Structure 1
Amino acid sequence: MNGASAASSLRSAFSYCVQQVRNYEYHHYLCLLELPPHFRKAAFALRAFNVETARAMDVASDPRIGLMRLVWWQEAIDKMYAEKLIEHPTAQALSSVICENKISKGWLKRSVEARINDARREVTDIPETIEELEKYAEDTVSTILYMTLQAGGIRSTAADHAASHIGKASGLLLLLKSLPYHASRNRHFSYIPAKVAAKHGLLVKEGGRSVIHLDSREHLCDAVFEMALVANIHLQKARQLAGTVPAEARPVLLQAVPAQVLLDSLSRVQFDVFDPRLSRGVLGIPPLWYQLKLKWHSWMGKY
């Protein structure tokens, strides 16, 4: 491939990444537009990678095919670091970002491995505690923020700590929002920890195994509230670090805004994840109002 066609192919790959994020994570797409131009490309490639791995199981007609897709990504990461060409637009864009920004391979691998472990879980495998879900959120969401900070050349322990908390909050809240979807695919029990479910009367014994029943809307709302409370604590901790976070890191941490918007939307519907208002607009609020919130935080240098 000559230089001109390689450059054209790479431009197409980055355009594809932007489109993927816009289509599937619109709330994050708007966040990334607030980033400085010099590392917006890297951020979109990393987010598109997240879209690919997060949706692998959902778009597959058979769970085994979804799992194969995730394993393919695991192998693709090794190829990227070996500077081998991969015929996939997101992988192509990500290879370019890895080459230019020296992104840590460990974080990319950890992200895919967490999704593979989740995909391999049996239907009867219920996480025991909220901490297990926090770890999953850290491995899949916080890692994307760490790599985005790294792509921007930002080395700050405070920014990394804030990113960890924001990732955990975002991950937990998105798992809650997706409960109706997982319920429709018979995987809803996977994302309510056994301890929380038992406390709120959702855990029952069936044929010698524990099963979560969502019959009681009220009890489910109580369980969601308890988990949302943990997410809220993470957001508060992230904001407490704001004074020590460098100004150039704050646009990356704007991901706290969609998490807060979703938390507020959940609160408005009394933590009923089946309330149709949650799926309206952007995370339950009108798109224009969401954009104004984002712009205000961006202008004020807040997150």
Structure 2
Amino acid sequence: MNSFSRVCRNFQKNVILHQQCNHYSTHKNTSSTEYCLDLVRQYDYENFLCTLLLPSESRASAFAVRAFNIEIARVQDQVSDPRLGQMRMKFWEESVEKIFANDAPKHPVALELHRASKKHKLSKRYLKRLITSRADQLASSSFPNLEALEMYAENSVSSVYYLLLEASGVENIHADHVASHLGKAHGITNIIRSVPHNAPRQIISLPQDILLQHNVAHEAIFRARVTKEFKDVVFDVASRAKTHLDKARSLSKNIPKSASLLFLPAITIDSYLERLRLLDFDVFSGSLQRRNNTLPFVLLWNKLLTKY
């Protein structure tokens, strides 16, 4: 127990240290590595904690991948004109080409991604897939059905896990299958979690066929009306996420132990889905928006157990 307590204290110190990192644009002495780390901490705290627990030899590259994903994911929130959004996506598309031509732009995320790609031979196709999926989402934020949402999750989230596997030197077909299923679970859960954020902006990303099946109008979601029918919609979507999560976990015995750490976000997905279930699928509940203060220690415990 003393050993575990000591590990916990060291991990907590790391979290506090990284929380104090300053933004690259306001502090010239901040390195590109620190910029990526702080970007993930600020906009993707759960994955920030998971990435902190990775081995030192792959941690910086993992933060570069996640920072890149955040940069393109945030475009939708940063622009009101889709044309401006497409211009930003074009910048990142060109940046990826330059990165693989050893001519990375002087942007901290691009510089870190260049280092990561040289060190671990990251696949360009996954980076471009991340851009394409987000660019398509700019043009149309709705999904006709669950299958379309699954495909979006595969392209926009599973691709991140494929890159993390490459950054960790893991080549295993079962690990690839876990990455695919966990990415789908993660992406679908992200869509559910985004409902309270997107509703005031009149953006509906829940599958249209399920909304029609349960006779839920867009206006009801915009007004945050939590009806039984709306809860049924959330239940159907969450059930698909849980199916993929369970499948990803069922493959845990077939993958290298080194890969298990990459899939720690499964803990955060499961935690959210369970809290959602206990709240009877009221996605607008304020308790779902609050940070889980025990998460760092839950993640650390699962790392020690080599579980996800």
User: Which range, TM-score by smaller chain?
Assistant: 0.7 to 0.9
Cross-structure match for 1:149: 165
Q: Cα–Cα, structure 1 residues 260 and 115, in superposed 2: closer, same or farther, change >3 Å? A: same
Cross-structure match for 2:247: 237
Cross-structure match for 2:48: 29
Matched, 1:102 2:121: yes
Task: Report 1:189-228 matches (<5 A).
Answer: 191-203=205-217, 213-214=220-221, 215=225, 217-228=227-238
Amino acid across the alignment from 1:298: K
- Per-residue displacement from partner, 1:2-40 (whole Å, max 9, x unpaired)? xxxxxxx99811110000000010100000111111100
Residues 45 and 93 in structure 1, CA contact (< 8 A), matched pair in contact too: yes
Amino acid across the alignment from 1:153: G
Aligned residues: percent identity? 36
Q: Cα–Cα, structure 1 residues 173 and 36, in superposed 2: closer, same or farther, change >3 Å? A: same
| Equivalent residue for 1:257, pick from 263, 267, 278 | 267
- 1:213 shift after superposition: 4.1
Matched, 1:67 2:92: no
What's the TM-score, normalizing by structure 1?
A: 0.88
- Separation in 1, partners of 2:215, 2:105: 49
Cross-structure match for 1:175: 191
Structure 1 stretch 228-237 or stretch 55-64: which is displaced more?
Answer: 55-64
Following superposition, which runs of at least 4 residues in structure 1 exceed 6 angstroms of deviation? none
Q: Cα–Cα, structure 1 residues 132 and 17, in superposed 2: closer, same or farther, change >3 Å? A: same
SS at match of 1:43: helix
Residues 226 and 282 in structure 2, CA contact (< 8 A), matched pair in contact too: no
- Separation in 2, partners of 1:212, 1:109: 35
Cross-structure match for 2:23: none
- Separation in 1, partners of 2:151, 2:29: 34
- Per-residue displacement from partner, 1:128-152 (whole Å, max 9, x unpaired)? 2101011111111111111111111
- 1:217 shift after superposition: 2.7
Amino acid across the alignment from 1:200: H
- Separation in 2, partners of 1:25, 1:135: 22
- Per-residue displacement from partner, 1:240-268 (whole Å, max 9, x unpaired)? 10110111111001121111111112112
Residues 161 and 238 in structure 1, CA contact (< 8 A), matched pair in contact too: yes
- Separation in 1, partners of 2:172, 2:30: 31
SS at match of 1:31: helix
| Cα RMSD after superposing both structures | 1.7
Amino acid across the alignment from 2:63: F
- Separation in 2, partners of 1:219, 1:269: 15
Cross-structure match for 2:9: none
What's the TM-score, normalizing by structure 2?
A: 0.86
- Separation in 2, partners of 1:245, 1:186: 42
- 1:62 shift after superposition: 3.1
Residues paired across the two proteins, number = 278
Cross-structure match for 2:305: 300
Unaligned runs of 5+ in 2: 1-27
Amino acid across the alignment from 1:230: R
Unaligned runs of 5+ in 1: 1-8, 204-210
Cross-structure match for 1:131: 147
